[in-house]
């Protein structure tokens, strides 16, 4: 996607063929800074501290983290160390495991001298595949959007967190259909949940939509139910960090409440679900998905820009108050109207997913 006229992905290989470059998402929307990763430790820290975030991008970053590890030491011991360290960087997005399993299966049988090149090649492929997957999700989502009847003179979407191009390598999952609808001339406006505590909606989704010229309005997280009750939302669309084989969806904390409100108000609730985000090994999301618990400071502090342009972080809690910070929740399949995958749109159910991915049938 474009930033001030220049095409960017969120992660790419530097001109020296070894350094990995990423957009530092902790500084957006106030500063646009590109960071260099020169080691596996840089990649691990970048994922853990959310310089890069969003399930598909976490997977791509882990793949490049493995390549950086192989660039310094392609031994079996380093392969294992990099796998373990990168795997522990963030627990919820299954894309991390998907990418690391893929790289390990590729690299383990190779001689050490061939691992570096193979790892960089596969990491680049994973990035290209992700961009293609997200573009296809956009195409299928656009077909679905074309069938929706707006209540007013434009379609009103609501999204939570950031599942746009910044959360992926390019295009995004939930936002890809919105970009493609906008580009096709369909009048569309997006209600953007601010998404406390880290404000991915207010800081990242709003920034992306503004860069692309998509009309949008940021709302407090608690406003969505009210807007739905008053007929101001035609559909909700979100991303997923892990989808179970029966269609439960784990996404940024607060997604579940939006799905409940959508269900109560008869508003369709769609999920952009790339196949690397599907965890075929589990069925019950509430029971089986590890929910990341992040530092309480993310709840107790907020960062913003002052009138003089200085970016500052301030405390918002009284001294001594405790804060808790579960980062994800699980929306049960029964609240999801449909999953939009790169292979098409399906019901959020085991039968629905298997209709698109028959090779995942336990009998296959």
Q: Give min distance, CB of 161 to ligand MRU, in A.
A: 4
**Does the footprint of ligand MRU cover residue 241 (CB under 6 A)?**
yes
The CA distance from 329 to 249, in Å, is 8
Binding mask 128-167 for ligand MRU (x = CB under 6 A): ---------------------------------x-x---x
Closer residue to ligand MRU in complex, CB, 60/67: 60
Looking up tokens 């009309």 gives 215
The CA distance from 255 to 252, in Å, is 6
Q: Give min distance, CB of 234 to ligand MRU, in A.
A: 20
Contacts (CB under 6 A) with ligand MRU, residues 315-344:
327
**Which residues carry out catalysis?**
241
The CA distance from 16 to 225, in Å, is 50
Closer residue to ligand MRU in complex, CB, 82/167: 167
User: Is the CB of residue 34 less than 8 Å from the CB of residue 23?
Assistant: yes
Closer residue to ligand MRU in complex, CB, 38/211: 211
Q: What is the CB neighbour count within 10 angstroms for residue 101?
A: 12
Which residue's C-beta sits nearest to ligand MRU? Answer: 239
Write the burial class of residue 6 (CB in 10 Å: 0-12 exposed, 13-18 middle, 19+ buried): exposed
Q: Give min distance, CB of 295 to ligand MRU, in A.
A: 13
User: Is the CB of residue 276 less than 8 Å from the CB of residue 343?
Assistant: no
**Does the footprint of ligand MRU cover residue 276 (CB under 6 A)?**
no
Strands (E), the chain: 2-3, 6-7, 11-13, 20-23, 34-37, 155-159, 188-193, 216-219, 235-238, 242-244, 249-252, 269-272, 278-279, 301-305, 311-315, 328-331, 338-341, 344-346
Beta-strand relationship, 235-238 and 269-272: parallel
> Segment near ligand MRU (CB under 6 A), from 98-106, 233-241, 283-291, 350-358?
233-241
Closer residue to ligand MRU in complex, CB, 276/300: 276
> Segment near ligand MRU (CB under 6 A), from 64-72, 209-217, 237-245, 305-313?
237-245
Binding residue for ligand MRU, selected from 42, 44, 47, 54, defined by CB under 6 A: 54
The closest of 269, 197, 209 to 239, measured between CA atoms, is 269
**Does the footprint of ligand MRU cover residue 61 (CB under 6 A)?**
no
Residues binding ligand MRU (CB under 6 A): 53-56, 93, 161, 163, 167-168, 172-173, 200, 239-241, 251-252, 327
């Amino acid at each position: 996607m474009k930033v001030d006229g220049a095409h960017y992905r969120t992660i790419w290989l530097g001109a020296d063929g070894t350094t990995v470059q990423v957009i530092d998402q902790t500084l957006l929307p106030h500063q646009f800074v590109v960071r260099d990763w020169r080691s596996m430790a840089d990649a691990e820290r970048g994922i853990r501290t959310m310089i890069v975030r969003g399930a598909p991008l976490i997977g791509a970053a882990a793949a490049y983290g493995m390549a950086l590890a192989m660039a310094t030491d392609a031994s079996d011991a380093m392969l294992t160390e990099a796998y373990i360290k990168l795997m522990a960087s963030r627990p919820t997005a299954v894309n991390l495991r998907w990418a690391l399993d893929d790289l390990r299966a590729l690299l383990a049988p190779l001689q050490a001298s061939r691992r570096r090149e193979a790892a960089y090649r596969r990491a680049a492929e994973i990035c290209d595949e992700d961009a293609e997957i997200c573009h296809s999700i956009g195409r299928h989502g656009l077909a679905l959007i074309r069938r929706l009847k707006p209540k007013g003179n434009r379609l009103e979407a609501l999204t939570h967190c950031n599942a746009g191009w910044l959360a992926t390598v390019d295009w995004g999952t939930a936002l890809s259909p919105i970009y493609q609808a906008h580009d096709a001339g369909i009048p569309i406006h997006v209600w953007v949940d601010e998404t406390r505590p880290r404000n991915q909606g207010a800081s990242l989704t709003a920034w992306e939509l503004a860069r692309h010229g998509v009309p949008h309005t940021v709302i407090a997280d608690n406003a969505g139910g009210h807007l739905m009750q008053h007929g101001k939302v035609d559909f909700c669309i979100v991303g997923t960090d892990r989808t179970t084989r029966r269609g439960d969806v784990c996404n940024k904390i607060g997604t579940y409440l939006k799905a409940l409100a959508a269900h109560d108000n008869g508003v369709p609730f769609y999920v952009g679900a790339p196949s690397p985000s599907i965890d075929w090994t589990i069925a019950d999301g509430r029971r089986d998905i590890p929910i990341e618990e992040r530092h309480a400071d993310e709840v107790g502090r907020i960062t913003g820009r002052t009138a003089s342009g200085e970016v500052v972080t301030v405390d918002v809690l009284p001294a001594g108050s405790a804060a808790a910070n579960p980062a994800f929740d699980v929306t049960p399949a029964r609240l999801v109207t449909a999953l939009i995958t790169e292979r098409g749109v399906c019901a959020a159910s085991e039968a629905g997913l298997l209709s698109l991915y028959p090779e995942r049938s336990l009998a296959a």
